[in-house]
Amino acid sequence: MSKSKTEKVTITPAKGRPMLHWVGKRPLTSLTAFPAQHIETFDPTASGDIETNKLFHGDNKEVLAYMLANGYRGKVDLIYADPPFNTGVDNYVRNVRLRKMKIAGIDGEPISFMEQIQYENYYFPDIYLQFLFDRLKLMYELLSESGNLFLRMDHHYNHMARCILDEVFGVSGYKNEIAVSRTRTLKGEEGRFHAATESVYFYAKSSDSTFNGYHISIPKEQWQWLEMHMTGERKNKDLLTIEVMGRKFKAPNGRRWVLSQSSIDDAVKKGLVKIDEEKNRPLFLNKHYSPGSNWTDIPGYSKKFNYPTENSEELLERVIISASNPGDIVLDCFVGSGTTAAVAQKLGRRWIGCDINKGSIQTTSKRLQKIILDQIEEQDKKSKRPKLIEDEEEIKPASLAFSVCRVNDYDLQIQHNEAVNLACEHIGIERKKTDTFFDGTFGKNLVKIIPFNHPLSPVDLEEIKKELEARPDEERAITVVCLGIELAAKAWVEEWNRLRKGHNAVNKIDVIELRSDAKYGGFIKHEPAKAKINFARKKDAVAIEIEDFISPTIIQRLQQQAGILKPKIVDWRSMVDCVMMDTNYDGKVFNINLSDVPEKRDDLVKGKYVLDGLKEKSRIAVKIIDMLGEEVLTVKEI
């Protein structure tokens, strides 16, 4: 985590067949790995184990590159990926309402007064396929030789996604196409049946990948003694004959034994095998059944955390149990509301999650904090109970801590995708979904929007140069929109434009830097939220009272949504999502020593706290996160 320089990461070429082609397809051979900054820690037991579980804030392509450059290549055991499905809906939004507060509309009914963009879900097809291809290539590089990948897709692109998977993993990497349930629809789509299922593609890096299967218990009254062979012959002729309780049995012609010899030996020890003396055949006691590749018996989605397309814990439980073991590393690079990390934590796996949305990171962090605190409480209860029977099925957490890291300089106060849309509206850019590289037009100029999680760099400009070289007939000027600009990038642009002087010069580059541009800059400079906090020392304790909190962004959106109504916030706590404190803040990493996260949507934060055991002078930091994800940090030495 101490590295501060960018690194070049090389990627091996895909060798699988068949190969899907699209306009502008380009192989991913190398990319730049930006550094990561450790910004937050949750370690309630002071274990110091902050490397086991990680939550990354940043573009997942850059996070995956960082992981490859920092020791994770070939080390990840399981990846679950649920990318945007490119359904044609411009953006997925979540409705945000304040805590314990409703606003009446014209008809007296409560209205949802704030919407927040979570992620884009409409790309030009060629851009979307390149988006998938690049990220799947990086995931493949991260997987261990025994690693597995599960990719969730819907009917829009699942057939093309499978072709890309065949190319990246090879056809032999395919294991299953698993059917999962979609959100229920009240009526069918016009002229056809509504899509009731989605696909989860299960691929493995090698034939030795981890696979435990998944079994569901059957009620005791439904247990059955079943034949141990089935149709089909094994390729391995050594397994035509098995030994059960010292007796040998040969499989009937045209059939094969279901279990290997080692599995049969294990089943005998557990009392799951007997010999039918009358018919001279071994039988297996069936106490479980496997759902196979049809998982529509469980919900595919959940609404526990009010997050768009939130995966259900039941689904991730099956994925993680079937394709990994306790202690393995589980990665989700579209972590969303944090379901993968949450289930991995409960099942004793190590986990890594990443997302470009700050709200996603905050939601996941809060969710994991509660799970870990519950696990600590449960461990304390068990330690106080007399030990009568050892629980064989107990799964211990791999770690009771995690760290939050930021890849690249991502310091926006508002959500990334929301910022891009606001910037385009502010400048007057016409967005285009049909170009594989440029994002739209501004007057006669082509527009390239540099991802807002890093300042404009020479690397970005070299990419623009390469694209223009591939378009020899393109003469339009280029407008580059960015948030921050490196000095080296400024010099690059000056030299580029110096060589393109004159009335007929082509491909000149103009830069709109959203903080400082004379005409269009300053739009990011919104009025920040503010807090009034009182600190008072009482011997070895510090009393903290949040006296007031105001979020101008929430007030503004509230008034816009309410229209002619005049909404009034009576209690400042309605605007606050959670409060966290660091009792010894070093100015760099925020260590969460106290976390006030209301369990229910209409619960409020306490607002008053007492920190005990602070004998010496302490540097206390209080972080308040509002309902839109904006953070206010107040630091006091007392």
Per domain, the residue ranges of the chain are: 7-86+123-207+292-383+393-407, 217-289, 416-513, 530-637
Distance of CA 565 to the CA centre of its chain: 38
Question: Is the pLDDT at 410 greater than 90, yes or no?
Answer: no
Read off the pLDDT band of 383 (50, 70, 90): confident
What pLDDT is recorded for position 127? Answer: 79
Region at 463 (left for phi over 0; alpha for psi -120 to 50; beta for the rest): alpha
What pLDDT is recorded for position 179? Answer: 96
| CATH code for the part of the protein at 7-86+123-207+292-383+393-407 | 3.40.50.150
Structure token digits, residue 222: 């439904």
Residue type, 135: R
Specify the CATH class of 530-637 in words.
mainly beta
Q: What is the mean pLDDT of residues 453-461?
A: 83
Pick from 238-252, 379-393, 486-500: least confident: 379-393
What pLDDT is recorded for position 419? Answer: 67
| Contact status, residue 452 vs residue 419, Cβ threshold 8 Å | yes
Question: Is the pLDDT at 236 greater than 80, yes or no?
Answer: no
Q: What gap in Å lies between CA 515 and CA 528, rounded to an integer?
A: 15
Read off the pLDDT band of 104 (50, 70, 90): very low
What pLDDT is recorded for position 105? Answer: 43
What pLDDT is recorded for position 110? Answer: 44
Read off the pLDDT band of 590 (50, 70, 90): very high
User: 422 or 224: which carries more pLDDT confidence?
Assistant: 224
Integer angstrom CA distances of residue 138 from 65, 444, 576: 7, 36, 38
Question: Is the pLDDT at 369 greater than 50, yes or no?
Answer: yes
| Contact status, residue 115 vs residue 94, Cβ threshold 8 Å | yes
Q: What gap in Å lies between CA 225 and CA 34, rounded to an integer?
A: 58
Read off the pLDDT band of 65 (50, 70, 90): very high
Q: What gap in Å lies between CA 361 and CA 335, rounded to an integer?
A: 8
Q: What gap in Å lies between CA 98 and CA 82, rounded to an integer?
A: 29
| Contact status, residue 58 vs residue 408, Cβ threshold 8 Å | yes
User: 431 or 88: which carries more pLDDT confidence?
Assistant: 431
| Contact status, residue 328 vs residue 253, Cβ threshold 8 Å | no
User: 213 or 330: which carries more pLDDT confidence?
Assistant: 330
Integer angstrom CA distances of residue 474 from 351, 359, 463, 527: 46, 39, 15, 41
What pLDDT is recorded for position 389? Answer: 45
Output the average pLDDT for the chain.
Answer: 84
> Over the stretch 293-329, which tens digit does the pLDDT of each residue have?
999 999 998 888 777 788 999 999 999 999 999 999 9
User: For the packed helices 487-498 and 458-469, what is the interaxial angle rounded to 10 degrees?
Assistant: 30
Question: Is the pLDDT at 79 greater than 90, yes or no?
Answer: yes
Handedness of CA 204, 10, 408, 38 (dihedral sign): positive
Q: What gap in Å lies between CA 200 and CA 153, rounded to an integer?
A: 6
Question: Is the pLDDT at 64 greater than 50, yes or no?
Answer: yes
> Over the stretch 116-154, which tens digit does the pLDDT of each residue have?
454 454 567 887 888 899 999 999 999 999 999 999 999
Pick from 290-304, 410-424, 580-594: least confident: 410-424
Bridge-based pairing state of the strands 288-289 and 7-10:
unpaired
| Contact status, residue 507 vs residue 475, Cβ threshold 8 Å | yes
Q: What is the mean pLDDT of residues 367-375?
A: 95
- Cis peptide leading into residue 472 (ω within 30°): no
Q: What is the 8-class DSSP label of residue 219?
A: -
> Over the stretch 198-207, which tens digit does the pLDDT of each residue have?
999 999 999 8
Handedness of CA 376, 378, 384, 390 (dihedral sign): negative
Q: What is the pTM of this model?
A: 0.76
Read off the pLDDT band of 413 (50, 70, 90): very low
| Contact status, residue 277 vs residue 330, Cβ threshold 8 Å | no
Question: Is the pLDDT at 251 greater than 50, yes or no?
Answer: yes
